[in-house]
Chain A
Amino acid sequence: MSAGISISCGKAAVGRWLEEWISSMRLVPPAPLAIAVHVGSIAPQDDGDARTPFLQPQLEIRSGPPQGDVRIRWLAGPARALIAPGGHTAQVEIGPEALADRERLAQSFLTAVLIFLLRRAGWHHVHAAIARDPSGRDWLFAGNAQSGKSTTAALLATWGWAVGSDDITFLVREGGSVEAVAQRAPIALRPDAFALLGLSGGTAARGGRKAAFFPEELGGSWAARVAPRILILPRVAGDVTRAEPVRPREALVELVRWSAWVALEPALAQEHLDLLNALACQARCYRLALAPDLFARRDLMMELVP
Chain B
Amino acid sequence: MLRYARHPDLRLTALEGEGVALHLGTRRYYSVSESGLDILEALAAPRTLAELVALVTAKYDVTVEQAEVTTREFLERGLSTGTLTAEDVP
Interface of A with B (CB < 8 Å)?
54, 64, 247-250, 252-253, 256-257, 260, 262-264, 266, 269-270, 273-274, 276-277, 280-281
CB pair A263 B20 closer than 8 Å: no
CB pair A274 B24 closer than 8 Å: no
In the complex, whether B31 has a CB less than 8 A from a CB of chain A is yes
CA distance A264 to B26 in the complex (A): 10
Identify the closest chain B residue to A271 (Cβ): B11
- Dominant SS at the B interface? strand
CB pair A262 B15 closer than 8 Å: no
CB pair A274 B13 closer than 8 Å: yes
CB pair B24 A263 closer than 8 Å: yes
Can you list 5 A-B pairs, Cβ within 8 angstroms, ordered by A? A250-B31, A273-B11, A277-B20, A280-B15, A281-B16
CB pair B31 A249 closer than 8 Å: yes
Please name all residues of chain B whose beta carbon is closer than 8 Å to the beta carbon of A276 when the two chains form the complex: 13
Count how many pairs of residues, one from A and one from B, have CB atoms less than 8 Å apart in the complex.
51
Please name all residues of chain A whose beta carbon is closer than 8 Å to the beta carbon of B13 when the two chains form the complex: 252, 270, 273-274, 276-277
A138 CB to nearest chain B CB (Å): 20
In the complex, whether B18 has a CB less than 8 A from a CB of chain A is yes
Identify the closest chain A residue to B20 (Cβ): A252
CB pair B20 A253 closer than 8 Å: yes
CA distance A260 to B14 in the complex (A): 19
Interface of B with A (CB < 8 Å)?
9, 11, 13-16, 18-20, 22-24, 27, 29, 31
CB pair A266 B31 closer than 8 Å: no
Asked, given contacts A256-B20, A263-B22, A273-B20, whether A248 binds B15 with beta carbons under 8 Å apart, the answer is yes
CB pair A263 B18 closer than 8 Å: no
Contact pick for A54, options B11, B14, B22, B27, CB 8 Å = B27
19 further interface pairs, Cβ-Cβ under 8 Å (given A249-B18, A273-B22) = A64-B24, A248-B15, A248-B16, A249-B15, A249-B19, A249-B20, A252-B13, A252-B20, A253-B20, A263-B22, A263-B29, A266-B24, A269-B11, A269-B24, A273-B13, A276-B13, A277-B13, A277-B14, A281-B15
CA distance A192 to B29 in the complex (A): 34
CA distance A250 to B14 in the complex (A): 12
Please name all residues of chain A whose beta carbon is closer than 8 Å to the beta carbon of B15 when the two chains form the complex: 248-249, 252, 277, 280-281
Please name all residues of chain B whose beta carbon is closer than 8 Å to the beta carbon of A248 when the two chains form the complex: 15-16
B15 CB to nearest chain A CB (Å): 5
Of A54, A273, A276, most B-chain CB atoms within 10 Å: A273
